[in-house]
Amino acid sequence: MKQNLSAAVWLLLSLGLLTQVKANPYVIWSNGPAKSWERTAYPLGNGNLGCMIFGDPAKEKVQFNEDSLWVGGESDTGCYQNFGTIHFDLPHSKYSSYRRELDISRAVQTITYSSGGVSYKRECFASNPGKVMVFRYTADKAKSLSGKVYIEDAHKGSIKAEGNRIIVTGDLADWQVYDRKGRKRTWDNPTVLDYEAQLLVMNEGGSLQADGKAITFKDCDSLTFLVSADTNYINQREKGWKTEHPHKNITANLDRAAKQDYTELLTEHIEDYQSLFNRMSIDLGSSSDQILAQTTGKRLGAYQDGSSDPDLEELLYQHARDLMISCSRPGTLPANLQGMWNQENGPPWRCDYHSDVNLQMNYWFVDQANLSECYKPLAEWFYAGREVRREHTLEHFGKRGIAMLAENGIFGGSTWKWSIGDASWLTNNLYSHYRYTLDKDILRDRVYPLLKDCFMFWEDHLIEIPAPSGKGTVLVGPNGYSPEHGPHQDGVSFDQQLCWDLLTNFAEASEVLGVDASERTKALAMREQLLGPQIGSWGQLQEWMVDRDDPEDDHRHLSHMIAVHPGRQISPLTSPEFAEAAKVSMHARGYGGTGWSRAWKISIWARLYEAEKSYKMIRNLMSSRTLYSNLFAAHPPFQIDGNFGYAGGVNEMLLQSHMDYIDIIPALPAAWPEGEVAGMRARGDAEVDLKWSGGTLVSVTVKAGDQYQALPLVYKGKRVMPNLKSGQTKTVSVAEFR
């Protein structure tokens, strides 16, 4: 495949030992410094630490975050915080030959330019194994690096520069948070966290001088800046959400990294990152050399004007994988509304865990994109807040189990509005993760307890009413709400469809684990009596039990489509009448919307086998309103769910496995007549390679994992059973489908 350069080649490139190789297709680049944090700066992250780099030769800014820097508590969502900004002042007045790039195949940013007859280079990365961010400054002439470095703390803590180290420390007690409209946010019983950041400067040649707040460097040949930061947060309620002060661990991280050669740090980072990134490759066609030679911003502008650029579509897909690896690793918190990158202390929607679509959308694509480890933070976060949510649910509803409000923080606290189906929606994410991996440990220890909590809630919450048809009775959720749209009514489709998925998943999981047989029987009986999807007067799939949908309504939320995606209640092959009604509703909702809404529409249309409509939504998502030149998706403003939702949509166009068979290129558009994918995952612990030409499948290769359970392969309604055992691989040609 054209993108599938070996790890060895990438490593040689990164170390400067190989220069003659085909152009790297995974570079986002610009010929000038960033002027906007949101639109043009480039991100880096190692799971819990992240930064946005601007790349100014004279006044460099690196705004940074640590994923647990939150204010709030168990009674309120609180708010994710900006940690601060690292400033690098270097006296370059004029410069030329400037290039700033993010190589997502290595998660390394490189900035090069010339000034005063000297060529300068900056290389930056965030190392997961090293637990540090690394900034390497070099020049091709000795003694060319002079200036100073200092940290601006967003919470006005203590700053001390001594020797070659800057330490910033403080706590979030009494910290006042204001939203974008200047309104003060307060909450009861906050959990007050301690925080610390350290920056270590290592120079080759020249000298360093600390003045209490900054470190000045003079006549240096090269400089390496190491940064680590953390809080005393721990995701354990029984410990009050806090552990020991982070100073000891941060110091150890920097001291350990300082003992390594820069090349060793870089090599360790690349090998770790590529152990995830290189598992999967995707080829959707070739862009012209003229287009590939342009900056990313110009390429995006040309694409928005109608040009074809399949390599840009591939880049956006792989960028989603890069962002997920960068902000959601085992041991960290899950990706929030902006992943982990946030420049404000009163950010939009608190930069929280929004559970009425956004948090779920962040993780739809992860398993299929062969990044299953990145799912663990979501399971751990949801499980950690379990007891708080059980208490809130009992207090508000007088019922067992878990329901949720739509805004959520890291201490179990939630705010804004009860969105009753949200908890079940999250368990659907987690159970889907199990169906990909077939990992019974995570099913037993994390997923099933949450499934059972949600089952108990619905068991207590559902009410029996006369069926709308006038025959018999049905079970409905009372006083429900269709986010973020319309009135509260009984039997809204959002509740009904999520309850159907929950009861299905709970019953399956209890059988897999061999537990709760009587509850399983009850769940299946409840599902049979549950009010199902309804078709309204203009042929639409109803959003409410009452036929009140407006054909002129183009609201961004698509809550009555959950049965199509990400659920499995409606499919063109199993329920064609309802699938047609879903198409009617989707057409009425239009082809615009916010970034994440457009992304969701890609997946829904793909599940309905409408390839051209899915591709139309890709083009619309990549518009100037909802995708910026740094390839951040926007609500607007920036929300990372659009990036992750896009990748999920591409997945659904190329491979589907939610209906217990592996559906091959079910929504392939005319714009991608030639292509191939390697390393894409399917449910049943399978890895799939695909190749097609002239819009027709050529072959599919299935590799069975350790827990493999065989699913039929389906292509255009024809089936093949691969008949594999764990660890085996088999290639099936298109001629074998019957």
pLDDT over 60 (residue 646) = yes
Percentage of residues in the chain with pLDDT exceeding 70?
A: 96
**SS3 state of residue 128:** coil
pLDDT over 50 (residue 186) = yes
pLDDT tens digits for range 326-347: 999 999 999 999 999 999 999 9
pLDDT over 80 (residue 20) = no
Predicted local distance difference test score (pLDDT) of residue 23 = 63
Of 61, 58, 83, 53, nearest in space to 70 by CA: 83
Predicted local distance difference test score (pLDDT) of residue 3 = 43
pLDDT over 70 (residue 518) = yes
Predicted local distance difference test score (pLDDT) of residue 178 = 67
Predicted local distance difference test score (pLDDT) of residue 179 = 67
> Binning pLDDT at 50, 70 and 90, where does residue 180 land?
low
pLDDT over 80 (residue 174) = no
d(CA 615, CA 404): 34
Q: How many helices (H) and strands (E) does the chain have?
A: 18, 35
pLDDT tens digits for range 721-738: 998 999 999 999 999 998
d(CA 634, CA 36): 14
pLDDT tens digits for range 453-484: 999 999 999 999 999 988 999 999 999 999 99
User: Tokens for 40?
Assistant: 């043009």
pLDDT tens digits for range 523-534: 999 999 999 999
pLDDT tens digits for range 597-637: 999 999 999 999 999 999 999 999 999 899 999 999 999 99
Predicted local distance difference test score (pLDDT) of residue 24 = 80
Predicted local distance difference test score (pLDDT) of residue 240 = 97
Predicted local distance difference test score (pLDDT) of residue 177 = 73
pLDDT tens digits for range 66-122: 999 999 999 999 999 999 999 999 989 899 999 999 999 999 999 999 999 999 999
Instruction: Give the C-alpha distances (Å, rounded to integers) separating 9 from 2, 3, 271.
Output: 13, 12, 12
d(CA 474, CA 139): 74
Predicted local distance difference test score (pLDDT) of residue 405 = 97
pLDDT over 90 (residue 426) = yes
**SS3 state of residue 659:** coil
d(CA 127, CA 187): 35
Predicted local distance difference test score (pLDDT) of residue 93 = 83
Predicted local distance difference test score (pLDDT) of residue 87 = 98
d(CA 333, CA 318): 22
Using left for φ > 0, alpha for ψ between -120 and 50, and beta otherwise, residue 521 falls in alpha
Task: Identify whether 572 is preceded by a cis peptide bond (ω within 30 of 0).
Answer: no
Q: Kindly report the CA angle at 666 between 574 and 685, in degrees rounded to 5?
A: 85
H or E stretch including 403? none
User: Tokens for 585?
Assistant: 């509703």
What is the residue whose two structure tokens read 């929950």? Answer: 502
- Nearest-Å Rg of the Cα atoms of the chain is 26
pLDDT over 60 (residue 441) = yes
User: Tokens for 631?
Assistant: 């390839």
Compute the mean pLDDT over every residue in the chain, rounded to the nearest whole number.
Answer: 95
Residues 6+ apart with CB under 8 A from 87: 59, 60, 61, 149, 150, 151, 152
d(CA 686, CA 650): 18
pLDDT tens digits for range 258-269: 999 999 999 999
d(CA 324, CA 319): 9
d(CA 380, CA 448): 13
d(CA 166, CA 188): 34
> First-to-last CA distance in the chain?
28
Predicted local distance difference test score (pLDDT) of residue 61 = 98
